[in-house]
Amino acid sequence: MKLKDKWKRGLPYVGNKGQKAENIIDILPAGKRLIDVFGGGGSISLTAASSGKWDEVVYNDRRKTVVNLLKALIEDNHHFDLMKYVYMNRETFNNWRDSMPDSIERTLVLTAWSFGNNLNGYLWGKKIEKERLQLTRALFLGDTGTQLDDLYSCAKNETTISGKYTVYHKWNRKRLEQLERLQQLEQLQQLDLLEPLKYSVLDYHSLDVNPSDVVYCDPPYTGTGQSYGGFDDDSFQRWLEKCPAKQIYISEYTQLPHTEVALNLGKKQSFQSKGKRPEELLLKYVK
């Protein structure tokens, strides 16, 4: 994906479809309204809203602060100075996670600094934490007292995270993951409003779905529900049976009952170094 289009990935968020969003949107049928039932980081909704295939795109996720963070970044109605979040040690991260009330700022911190975008574990292991934080301080503050502070001189005229990260990347090919994530959020702040995009924070059972709607579901995959607040696979199946929409598509690892494979999305990228990576499927629900 080109740098200028990375805003379509939305929030760095566990399970985010990222580059696969374009392939999914190509398959989904056009219509008046698309409902992104489990919106997560928003990559499907943002890609859909920019595609012109639907008059309205409903980005829904039951976690209110996630939805409100994406909305705040796009509408810039709660302006975040993202430069404030480029440096954060493990202790500060844990304090945000364990002691701060749920808010869009807390969600921003956990999004930018968590391992695997899981909003829980700190981004780096202890062996590389010091090295990566020192590089960040050198780039943005120039106060490490080491030769790395030359980075600050090279990047001091850059006023954006994207600009400073570009300077850093030319200097060193190691990745500073938190800067890539903040760069992605910075792009969202620079967007014009996406007129088709609407925001919703309902549990999927409470969504008002019409027969003419195109419905896309990216739920916790079968057998992983306990990691996502006790998601009930059987309850989801019952909801699919009763859902009035005629066009329902689901992302999954395995084929579900009453579905056909609309698209094989290939291997899922994973932080796991061992074991077979599953293939992601886009399923069409058949009634």
pLDDT at 174: 67
First-residue to last-residue Cα distance in the chain: 36
Mean pLDDT calculated for residue range 201-224: 91
Distance, CA of 145 to CA of 37 (rounded, Å): 50
pLDDT at 1: 56
pLDDT at 273: 43
pLDDT at 32: 97
The answer to whether position 75 is within a domain reads: no
* Same-domain status, 172 and 215: no
Instruction: Supply φ then ψ for residue 103, to 5 degrees.
Output: -160, 170
Residue 17 has pLDDT above 80, yes or no: no
* Same-domain status, 208 and 276: yes
The answer to whether position 25 is within a domain reads: yes
Mean pLDDT calculated for residue range 51-74: 96
* Same-domain status, 119 and 216: no
pLDDT at 239: 97
Q: Could you tell me the pLDDT band of residue 271, with boundaries at 50, 70 and 90?
A: very low
Give the number of other CB atoms < 10 A from CB of residue 142: 17
What total of structural domains would you count in the chain? Answer: 2
* Same-domain status, 32 and 124: no
Q: Could you tell me the pLDDT band of residue 229, with boundaries at 50, 70 and 90?
A: low
* Same-domain status, 150 and 209: no
What contacts 24+ positions apart, CB below 8 Å, involve 156-164? 160/186, 161/82, 161/83, 161/86, 161/186, 162/3, 162/186, 162/187, 164/139, 164/140
* Same-domain status, 115 and 168: yes
The answer to whether position 86 is within a domain reads: yes
Q: Which residue has the higher pLDDT, 275 or 272?
A: 275
* Same-domain status, 95 and 171: yes
The whole domain housing 169 covers 82-189
What is the per-residue pLDDT across 85-98, written as a single tens digit (0 to 9) for each?
999 999 999 999 99
pLDDT at 281: 94
Report in angstroms the alpha-carbon separations of 4 from 33, 49, 185, 190, 273: 26, 16, 12, 11, 30
- Residues facing residue 31 across a β-bridge: 54
pTM (two decimals): 0.88
- Kindly report the CATH number assigned to the domain that includes residue 267: 3.40.50.150
Q: Could you tell me the pLDDT band of residue 277, with boundaries at 50, 70 and 90?
A: low
